[in-house]
Amino acid sequence: MLIMVNNLEIISQKRTSIVATIGPASESPEMIAKMLVAGVNVIRINASHNSEPDSVRQVVQTVRKASIDLQRWVSIFLDLQGPKIRVGVFENGSAVLKKGQVYRLVNNPTMKGDSAQAHVSQIVISDCQVGDPVYIDDGKLSLTVIEKNPDSIVCRVTHGGIIRDKKGVNLPKTELKSGSLTDKDRIDLNLAIENDLDYVALSFVQTAKDIDDLRKSLDSRGGHGIRVIAKIERPQAMENIAAIIDASDAVMVARGDLGIEIGIDHVPSAQKRIIYECNRRIKPVIVATHMLESLITENTATRAEVSDVANAIYDRCDAVMLSAETAAGHDPIHAVETMRDICITTERNIEYLRRDNTSMPRFVFATNHRSAATSIVKAADQIAQENKARAIMVFTSTGQTPLIASKLNTPFPVISVTDNPATMRRLALYRGVIPLMLSKRFANIHRWRDMIALGIAHAEACGYITQGDVLVITAGIPINQAGGINSIRIQTVGEE
């Protein structure tokens, strides 16, 4: 079990977080524990497939128990379905569409489709305009709107094929005026609040207003502490990316629908841009979808998949995500171990490039995100380099300072000491950050030296540091008041 492992080995290994999706293949207590041991830092619950209250509650309780038993702090987030649009059912389960034919999409839930027409939700009919493209079944079929009526749209098929029951519909050029938060999402938010989840992910975000609407819905129900992840999967989101990042607490590059909506050839550059902007704006970023897809059924990942994961790490994402690989794959543990090994190998090469001083410079934050805190963290990083420190230790209430250190691309592990369990769990998403829960509340500690002594003692007991290690320590003084960091100290473990 991980609790028996020497954490001095862990601290020098994987820095990128791994997100694993829970599903039938991985929901048992044994599998969840094994995934945490293998290197999972964040658990994803997909509300598109699991929004039954008892099931979600069981998953959360199982993860939290395993986290405590294994002394591995783990974040949990609920991935909201969002406005997922689908066609209805067909007379014979499917129909054939031929290129050039006219095809009608009608809002009539009781009808069964055929080769002339199919049911879609009213959102398509209301928001689509003449000339808009309509993609069906992950883009396997494409149509163009040629006529708009109150209860239907008439399309011309531009790429034909077989259309099947309940396949997804994408509208890349259409602004969805109803917003990203659906009635189902509002119901599912109760699951996040009742189970004290750490994050919720909003699907098909278009503007910063979508994030604001979700926050208002959370706040009105008492979910003030739940953080928001914006899923980027629409062209409209790319047009508003800076404002969306600023409005969110974290971002996910959701490459499945994003590839359909902007074209797969644009996904690599979009991914790089999103990661770059998140790092400049000091926000965690997850890269998701099809990362190790072949491991759903196979025992070995493809070279292209391994390169895909590695390139996301080179771009400095905070986390890489497994979806069906762990939710429904034949060997979820192997998928996690493969992802972990790619992370470790890639990060070792990053450190080589850093030492060679030819690449991997420290990051430059966006002007409006620079502050006294970013200056102090940069100074701590420089002091750590000059004094050959083992780690940077940060005392934090909200988690913002360790996030800054993570985004600075410091080569040093960031041991983040907090007295807040919610902050502790959220830290698990951040790249290169090691969460450490203090046994005593900050408010009950009256001297900085006492707080430092407690933090060092706890970190040493966990195996993160040892006698003689040099630490660079940052904190805010007075220590029992909320606010930014304002102090730096060099401390050798074992010395007063």
Q: What CATH number does residue 113 fall under?
A: 2.40.33.10
Mean pLDDT of 190-216: 97
Could you tell me the pLDDT band of residue 479, with boundaries at 50, 70 and 90? low
The verdict on 277 and 410 lying in the same domain is no
Q: What percent of the chain has pLDDT over 70?
A: 94
The verdict on 191 and 155 lying in the same domain is no
The verdict on 106 and 191 lying in the same domain is no
Mean pLDDT of 255-272: 96
* pLDDT tens column, 128-176: 999 999 999 999 999 999 999 999 999 999 999 999 999 999 999 999 9
The verdict on 185 and 51 lying in the same domain is yes
Mean pLDDT of 410-416: 92
Mean pLDDT of 11-20: 84
The verdict on 11 and 31 lying in the same domain is yes
Mean pLDDT of 188-202: 97
Could you tell me the pLDDT band of residue 362, with boundaries at 50, 70 and 90? low
Residue 361 counted as domain residue: no
Could you tell me the pLDDT band of residue 485, with boundaries at 50, 70 and 90? confident
Mean pLDDT of 244-258: 98
The verdict on 78 and 90 lying in the same domain is no
Is 329 in contact with 389 (CB distance < 8 Å)? no
The verdict on 220 and 142 lying in the same domain is no
The verdict on 442 and 472 lying in the same domain is yes
Q: How far apart are CA 268 and CA 271, in angstroms?
A: 5
Is the pLDDT score of 4 beyond 50? Answer: no
10 CB-near residues (< 8 Å, 6+ apart): 2
Residue 29 counted as domain residue: yes
Could you tell me the pLDDT band of residue 361, with boundaries at 50, 70 and 90? low
Structural domain boundaries enclosing 289: 2-83+180-356
The verdict on 352 and 263 lying in the same domain is yes
Could you tell me the pLDDT band of residue 55, with boundaries at 50, 70 and 90? very high
Cβ atoms within 10 Å of 281's Cβ, excluding its own: 19
Mean pLDDT of 96-113: 96
Residue 233 counted as domain residue: yes
Could you tell me the pLDDT band of residue 481, with boundaries at 50, 70 and 90? low
Q: Which of 109, 112, 160 is nearest to 136 (CA)?
A: 160
Could you tell me the pLDDT band of residue 363, with boundaries at 50, 70 and 90? low
Mean pLDDT of 451-456: 92
CATH number of the structural domain spanning residue 441: 3.40.1380.20
* pLDDT tens column, 205-244: 999 999 999 999 999 999 999 999 999 999 999 999 999 9
Mean pLDDT of 364-390: 88
Residue 139 counted as domain residue: yes
The verdict on 350 and 377 lying in the same domain is no
Least confident of 257-266, 271-280, 355-364: 355-364
- Count of alpha carbons within 13 angstroms of residue 267, beta-carbon side: 20
Distances (CA, A) of 175 to 124, 128, 138, 167, 217: 10, 8, 18, 20, 22
Confidence at residue 447, expressed as pLDDT on a 0 to 100 scale: 82
Is the pLDDT score of 10 beyond 60? Answer: no
What mean pLDDT value characterizes the chain? 92
Cβ atoms within 10 Å of 32's Cβ, excluding its own: 24
CATH number of the structural domain spanning residue 247: 3.20.20.60
Last residue of a domain, one of 321, 356, 391: 356
Q: Does 384 or 10 have the greater pLDDT score?
A: 384
Q: Does 368 or 423 have the greater pLDDT score?
A: 423
Mean pLDDT of 177-206: 95
User: What is the spatial order of strands in the sheet that 168-170 belongs to?
Assistant: 85-86, 168-170, 133-136, 141-149, 152-159, 102-106, 117-119
Distances (CA, A) of 428 to 12, 73, 197, 477: 16, 6, 13, 25
Is the pLDDT score of 410 beyond 50? Answer: yes
Q: How far apart are CA 380 and CA 395, in angstroms?
A: 13
Confidence at residue 11, expressed as pLDDT on a 0 to 100 scale: 46
Last residue of a domain, one of 356, 382, 405: 356
Number of domains into which the chain is organized: 3
Based on DSSP, count helices (H) and strands (E) in the chain, helices before strands: 17, 22
Is the pLDDT score of 7 beyond 70? Answer: no
Is the pLDDT score of 488 beyond 60? Answer: yes
- Residue 439 phi, psi (nearest 5): -75, -10
**Residues labelled catalytic:** 44, 86, 231, 289
Confidence at residue 243, expressed as pLDDT on a 0 to 100 scale: 98
Could you tell me the pLDDT band of residue 8, with boundaries at 50, 70 and 90? very low
Residue 362 counted as domain residue: no
Confidence at residue 1, expressed as pLDDT on a 0 to 100 scale: 30
The verdict on 91 and 70 lying in the same domain is no
Could you tell me the pLDDT band of residue 404, with boundaries at 50, 70 and 90? very high
Residue 273 counted as domain residue: yes
The verdict on 47 and 151 lying in the same domain is no
Q: What is the pTM of this model?
A: 0.93
Confidence at residue 324, expressed as pLDDT on a 0 to 100 scale: 96
Is the pLDDT score of 6 beyond 80? Answer: no
